[in-house]
Amino acid sequence: MACHTVRAKRELVRIVRSPSGELTVDLRGKAPGRGAYLDPDEACLDRGLRDGALAKALEIPVDNVTAERLKVELSEAARVREKETA
């Protein structure tokens, strides 16, 4: 998404805006709500936050507190993905 790298969908991590408006990392890719796919890399998330691509894709502003929480969740998701592919 933000880094414009082409990868298989299963290699990406979904950020989802739930019907209640909460943003979370969705590893299964099945949570209800509007989603955006990212590389499981903090640089991709940073770029998406910085240029507004993530907020635009999810149709909601992303505040600093939420951005920091998403960074932590994405880091955890990247570790899980690494274990799955190892």
Which domain CATH number covers 28?
A: 3.30.1230.10
Q: How many separate domains does the chain show? A: 1
In a domain, 2, yes or no: no
Helix/strand/coil for 44? helix
In a domain, 81, yes or no: yes
Helix/strand/coil for 18? coil
In a domain, 3, yes or no: no
Q: What is the pLDDT along the chain (86 residues), one digit of tens a residue?
A: 567 778 888 888 999 999 999 999 998 889 999 999 998 888 999 999 999 999 999 999 999 999 999 999 999 988 887 777 76
Q: What is the pTM of this model?
A: 0.85
Question: How far apart (Å, rounded) are the C-alpha atoms in residues 49 and 85?
Answer: 27
